[in-house]
Structures are given as C-alpha cells and as structure tokens.
Amino acid sequence: MSNGPQMLPRNFRKLSAELRLQALRDTYDLSAEELQMLGYRGNLDLSEIMTESAVGFLALPMGIAVGIPVDEQLYDVPLAVEEPSVIAAATYGARILRGAGGMHTWASDPVMTTQVYLSDCEDGAVERLRAAESQVIAEISPVLAAMQQRGGGYRGMDVELLQDLSVVRVQIDIDVRDAMGANLLNSTAEQAVPLLEKLSGGRKVFAILSNAAPKRLAGAEFHAPLSRLRRGKLVGRALAERIVLASRIAECDPMRAVTHNKGIMNGISSLANATGNDTRGLEAAVHAYAARLGSYGSLTSYRIEAGPHGEDVLHGRLEAPLVFGVVGGAVGIHPGARAALKVLRRPGAMQLARIAAAVGLAQNFAALGALVSEGIQAGHMRLHATRLAYIAGARGELIEPVAARLSAGGVYNIETAAGLLQDIAGVHQSDTTESAHKTEV
Ligand code: MEV
C-alpha cells in the first residue's frame, strides 16, 4: 500500500491513554484546546473502560427540561443533545400541557425477545422444538436465575419456519426488569444453542437479541381543553384543527412521518443520551414500530374529542417501544448518567420509559404547534444567533447582546456577528474603563 497521509500507529489500542492523546495530537495536528476537551484529567480512565482505543470524551451539552407533567407529578428531565431548540421545545410543550391537565402515561412489562436461527434442520424440527419448551426453560434457567429473583425471567417461546430460507427461528421472551437487557438476552440465546441444535438436528446461524422490542411499549397522552390552546395568532379550536391536520399528514405520508418522528426522538434520544442508554437500539426499535403496518407512519396521533366537562379537548397520544434501562451498560458507570437518574428521582426502567414517552409527546406537540403557526425557523434562528456570536469570538457577557442584535437585524452569518461583536466589545470596553475610572475616583 502506498505511503498515504500520516496515520495513527497500528498499536494505538495498546498505548497508554496519555500516549494515545499525544499520537492523536501529532498525527492530526490537534490544538491544546481540542485535546483538553477530549482528554480532561480523571475522565480518561472512565473512557478507557467504556470504549476501546479511548482518547477521552466528546461531551454533549446537557440541559434540563424543567417541569414535565407526568401522571400528577412534575419531573425535571435531563436531556443531552447538540441541537439548541430541543429543550426549549420540550419545556414549551410541557408548560402548555401543565395548564391543560398534564399527561397520563403507561408502560408494559419490559419484555424483550432473543433469537436463535437454525439452518439444515431435520424433518419435524419445528414440532420437536415446540414440544420441548420445558427442556429449553431448564437449559436457560441458570442464566436467568438472578433475573427471576428480581421478578423477571422467562416469559414464553415461539418457533417458526422461515419457508423461503428453510431456516427455523426460535424466539424466547424475557422480562428484563430494570435492565436494557442486551447482555442477558444474548447470553440466554447462546446458552440455548446446543440444546436447540440437538433437538432440531440443525446448525446455529446466529444467536442474538432482537432490538425490535414490540412488547416493551410505553405511551403518553393528554386531553387538553381547546380553550387552553394558543400559539401566535392561532387560538383554541383553530390551532387544534391545524395540529390534527398536521398529524394526519404524518400518518398518511412517510416523507413527512420521518421528520415528525425525528422531532419526537429529539426528546427521547436526548433522554437516552443523558441516562447512558443505547440510542441506536432505541431508535431501531422505534422506527421499526413506526413501519409495523406496512408503511412508515407517525408515532403520535391527535384528535378533537368531546371532553368530560362539556368542552371539546385536543387528545394527543404517543405509543412506541421505549427500551430504557436504569442498571447495567453505561448507566451504572458514567457519573453523568448517574446524576441524570438522580435528577429524575431514581426511576425504575418502566417509569423512565413513561417519562420518555411524555417528553416525546410534549416535544411533538410543541413542534406541531410551532409549525402550523409562526413556523420553527424564527425560534431556531434566535438560538442559532447565540452560536454565531460564539463562533465570531464573543464570550461571557458579550454573547447575549451580539445574538440579540443579530436576531434583530435578521442577517445570520459570521461576518455580521463579528462586526457586531467589534461594535459591542468597543462600547463594552469603554464602559468598563469608565466604570473602573469612576471606582478609582
Ligand atoms: C427539528 O429538529 C424537529 C422538527 O423538524 C420536527 C417536526 O418537523 O415535527 C421541528
């Protein structure tokens, strides 16, 4: 192979964390600031046990969506995400819903499915496997013993022939209680393989959990009296009707449903980030669920209904497989994730899934409200202005005035931000010199 650009050494993984950072700096010309952000002291060890070839952390900003109403209680919900409008939207949605009866949530038992696929099976394998459930339970019971003591464990088995492939699929359902469950599910599947091979006369293709989780559902809903709804110039029924139409469009048109659901996941994935949960597994499950009816659709629905007190209400509803754990994986290891769970008052996995459903619904309600009224760009650009101010060099108390004048002017680019910064910093400088002078006098 030709001598291309300079690369990290082949033994990078085996270097000490310190040397890895040096190699990274020298190979890719990283600045002191960039290095410091990655490898700040004390956290290198932690990154080392969380990932291979670690060089530190890429920290996401974490904020708190304050006062999310979930079943008669308010939660301050930590969300870790790079997009500035996410917490603003969740908090806005929650504020309206707090004054309109709050959100009611639910969660099914945390039942996940693990799978073994078998090829080259003998005739009658499916029937033999189905008849051997008690043998399978006995075989996997050592792996599940601790989980059973915690109230979880085996919940059922299913055997199917995948006709087109002549492959037999064995699925085992397990209640994983407070865990996300991946390790337990994979261990269970692997433990079952020798017996399943013996019973079927076949050969394992692979044994692994399914991330689909169609049985681990959580949901949230609200019934907001129409008189409580207002967004810009749209008030009451007029706003509710536009939200219903927006949600019907997402139900019917996959091109829109993807964006609609992305907005929902803004909140849910950020909560997963904050609590150290597996965002990829969660998102794979959610999007598969959104396509369960054969075409990709919306995770939420909105209808106008007769309310219990004579006034019509906007009924918003979200349901999805929300795979959240509160023990195991990164959850127990990362102190930031532990702190997030403390802020949430140490929920169990089912409660965390319910909070996630409420955050997703509040997020979606806020997004639809903004979209059908003033649009989202005005709010987004206000937040974008603070970033531009920062990129242009503003720090500390200079960020806000630069951002405010950028927003007022409506021209969003770094050059404009830099010009404003110069103006404001000049004034600021003379103000501080003047006040210092006054103090001296
Ligand atoms: C942006 O991150 C999310 C939205 O696009 C969601 C939506 O369109 O429903 C605003």
Q: What is the pLDDT of residues 183-193, one digit of tens each?
A: 999 999 999 99
pLDDT band for position 428 (50/70/90)? Answer: low
C-beta 256 within 6 A of ligand 1 = no
pLDDT higher than threshold 60 for residue 418? yes
Of 16-30, 143-157, 246-260, 353-367, minimum mean pLDDT range = 16-30
* Higher-pLDDT residue of 268, 48: 268
pLDDT higher than threshold 80 for residue 3? no
Fold match flag (62-108+218-327+345-374 vs 378-440): no
C-beta 266 within 6 A of ligand 1 = yes
Q: Mutate which of 251, 298, 376, 377 to test ligand 1's pocket (most atoms within 8 Å of Cβ)?
A: 376
Pairing between β-strand 167-175 and β-strand 300-306 as defined by DSSP bridges: unpaired
pLDDT band for position 392 (50/70/90)? Answer: very high
Told to judge if 197 belongs to the known catalytic residues of this protein, a careful annotator would answer: no
Of 171-180, 287-296, 386-395, 427-436, minimum mean pLDDT range = 427-436
Q: How far apart are CA 91 and CA 78, in angstroms?
A: 11
pLDDT band for position 76 (50/70/90)? Answer: very high
Short-list 210, 168, 175, 212, CA closest to 189: 210
pLDDT band for position 431 (50/70/90)? Answer: low
Short-list 65, 77, 151, CA closest to 354: 77
Per-residue model confidence (pLDDT) at position 8: 86
* CA distance to 76, 126, 317, 372, per residue, from 117 (Å): 43, 12, 36, 48
Record: fold of 62-108+218-327+345-374: 3.90.770
- The listed CATH number (1.10.8, 1.10.10, 1.20.120, 2.40.30) that belongs to domain 378-440: 1.10.8
Ligand 1 centre and the CA of 371: distance in Å? 8
pLDDT higher than threshold 80 for residue 346? yes
Where along the chain do its domains lie?
62-108+218-327+345-374, 111-210, 378-440
pLDDT tens for 116-175 read 999 999 999 999 999 999 999 999 999 999 999 999 999 999 999 999 999 999 999 999
What is the overall mean pLDDT for the chain?
91
pLDDT higher than threshold 60 for residue 211? yes
Q: How far apart are CA 358 and CA 351, in angstroms?
A: 11
**Cβ atoms of residues 205 and 214 within 8 Å:** no
Q: How far apart are CA 384 and CA 401, in angstroms?
A: 14
| pTM for the model | 0.89
Torsion (CA) 58, 64, 69, 73 in degrees, nearest 10: 100
pLDDT higher than threshold 50 for residue 440? no
Per-residue model confidence (pLDDT) at position 41: 57
Told to judge if 164 belongs to the known catalytic residues of this protein, a careful annotator would answer: no
Per-residue model confidence (pLDDT) at position 201: 98
Of 104, 204, 215, 380, the active-site residue reads 380
Of 14, 82, 127, 262, the active-site residue reads 262
**Cβ atoms of residues 384 and 84 within 8 Å:** yes
Q: Given strand 217-225, what is the order of strands in its sheet?
A: 104-107, 217-225, 312-321, 300-306
C-beta 261 within 6 A of ligand 1 = no
Q: Is 400 left (phi over 0), alpha (psi -120 to 50) or beta?
A: alpha
Surface-to-core class of residue 91, CB atoms within 10 Å of its CB (0-12 exposed, 13-18 middle, 19+ buried)? buried
C-beta 367 within 6 A of ligand 1 = yes
C-beta 231 within 6 A of ligand 1 = no
C-beta 259 within 6 A of ligand 1 = yes
Of 71, 83, 158, 253, the active-site residue reads 83
Per-residue model confidence (pLDDT) at position 441: 32
Told to judge if 380 belongs to the known catalytic residues of this protein, a careful annotator would answer: yes
Residue of the CA atom closest to atom 4 of ligand 1 = 263
C-beta 298 within 6 A of ligand 1 = no
Residue of the CA atom closest to atom 1 of ligand 1 = 263
Record: fold of 111-210: Alpha-Beta Plaits (3.30.70)
- What tokens appear for 62 in the block? 């974490």
As a whole number, mean pLDDT of residues 219-238 equals: 96
pLDDT higher than threshold 50 for residue 437? no
pLDDT higher than threshold 50 for residue 438? no
Told to judge if 83 belongs to the known catalytic residues of this protein, a careful annotator would answer: yes
